């Protein structure tokens, strides 16, 4: 089944109320990091009443495309119903800047810009070498600098996130990994935390209020799975 057929089938399943099957069809390789696909999967989970998973995918949709107003709307709707979740972790300045960049232009746009300006820089340098030796060196220098700036912005606008969302109805936090140590926290579905480190199926997470605990990784979802590379 090609991609467009799968997407059409998923839409049909969604319309007929077969949300679980629609989710299976929407998980298509490289499309896992497509903002619209993540949004649609989030919708399916919302319909299933699994608001933790739904939040995870709406967060992913917004990470990939901060201008996705529908994802923002649905995430707000979800969060109203996840009012028993803890305070969300605060965004770092770097993450904020990255979101602003993607809001201005998608990551691909920055990459294409960097490529074009870099090509222009190479062209000018070649001209100066073999065709116009009297050309002032400041021209290629300025264009090369601009290309470097665009490369930097491309890197910065690449979505990055260490945010995890609790997808199980409730999840215990332990003072030690592997279920050892004391139970020190109980979080409900949809709670968000930042991943600090992981160890063989256990996440060491920092909550929005600064508390730290080990959690069973199977009860959490990573907004940007580390195994998926851009």
Partner 1 sequence: MKRIGKYLLFGVLFLWTAVAFGQDGTLTARSSRTTVGLNEQFRITFSTTERGGEIQPPAFENFLIVGGPFSSQQTQIINGSVNFQRELTYQLMPKEQGTFNIPPATLKSKNGTLKSNTLEIVVKAGAVREDPMAERAKDAFNVEILTSKKSVYVGEPLVLLLRAYWSKPLRNLNIVQTPNFEGVLQNQLDVQQRERREVIDGKNVTVLDFDKKLLTPTQPGTLGGQELKMSAQLQVRTGRADFWGMPEVTFIPQVATAKIPAVTIKPLPSPSPAGFSGAVGELKLERSLSRTEVSGNESITLKIRISGTGNFNTISVPELIAPQGFDVYDPKFNEKIDYTTSGVRGYKELEYLLVPQFKGNFILPEMRWNFFNTKTEKYEEIVLAEESLVVLSGAEAPASMSPTDGMTLQKREVKDIDSDIRYLQSVEDSGTNRGLLWKLIGVLGITTLLLWGLQGIKMGGKAPSLQAAMAKEKKQVLFAFEKGDADRFGLMLNTLENRLIARGMTKEGLQKSALIEAFGPDQGAQLHQLMELCQMAQYAPGAIRDDTQVLNEFKAIWEWI
Q: Which residues bind partner 1 (CB under 8 A)?
A: 3, 7, 11, 14, 31, 34, 36-37, 39-40, 43, 46-51, 68, 70, 73-74, 77, 81-86, 107-108, 111-112, 114-115, 118-119, 121-122, 125-126, 128-129, 133-134, 137, 140, 144, 147, 151, 154, 168-170, 172, 175-176, 180-189, 229-230
**Longest Cα separation, the chain:** 75
Give 107 or 198: the residue with its C-beta nearer to partner 1. Answer: 107
Specify burial of residue 114 (Cβ count, 10 A radius: 0-12, 13-18, 19+): buried
Give 93 or 176: the residue with its C-beta nearer to partner 1. Answer: 176
Residues comprising the chain, all counted: 230
Neighbour tally for 209: CB within 10 Å = 9
Minimum CB–partner distance for residue 207 and partner 1 (Å): 12
Give 93 or 133: the residue with its C-beta nearer to partner 1. Answer: 133
**How far is residue 50 from each of residues 78, 100, 147, 193, measured CA to CA in Å?**
10, 30, 45, 18
Minimum CB–partner distance for residue 170 and partner 1 (Å): 5
Integer Cα distance of 52 and 38 in angstroms:
14
Give 94 or 169: the residue with its C-beta nearer to partner 1. Answer: 169
Integer Cα distance of 109 and 89 in angstroms:
29
Minimum CB–partner distance for residue 210 and partner 1 (Å): 14
Minimum CB–partner distance for residue 4 and partner 1 (Å): 8
Give 6 or 162: the residue with its C-beta nearer to partner 1. Answer: 6
116's tokens: 């074009």
């Amino acid at each position: 089944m090609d991609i467009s057929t799968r997407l059409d089938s998923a839409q049909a399943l969604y319309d007929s109320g077969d949300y679980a099957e629609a989710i299976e069809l929407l998980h298509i390789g490289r499309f896992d990091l497509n903002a619209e696909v993540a949004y649609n999967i989030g919708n399916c989970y919302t319909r299933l009443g699994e608001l933790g998973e739904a939040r995870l995918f709406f967060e992913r949709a917004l990470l990939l495309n901060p201008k996705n107003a529908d994802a923002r709307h649905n995430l707000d709707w979800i969060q109203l119903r996840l009012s028993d979740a803890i305070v969300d972790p605060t965004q770092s300045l770097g993450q904020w800047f990255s979101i602003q960049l993607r809001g201005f232009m998608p990551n691909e746009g920055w990459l294409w810009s960097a490529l074009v300006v870099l090509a222009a820089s190479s062209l000018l340098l070649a001209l100066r070498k073999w065709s116009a030796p009297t050309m002032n060196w400041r021209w290629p220098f300025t264009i090369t600098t601009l290309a470097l700036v665009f490369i930097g912005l491309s890197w910065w606008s690449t979505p990055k996130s260490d945010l995890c969302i609790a997808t199980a109805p409730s999840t215990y936090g332990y003072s030690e990994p592997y279920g050892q140590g004391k139970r020190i926290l109980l979080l409900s579905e949809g709670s968000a935390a930042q991943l600090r480190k992981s160890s063989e199926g256990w996440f060491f997470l920092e909550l929005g209020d600064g508390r730290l605990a080990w959690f069973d990784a199977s009860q959490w979802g990573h907004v940007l799975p580390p195994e998926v590379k851009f």
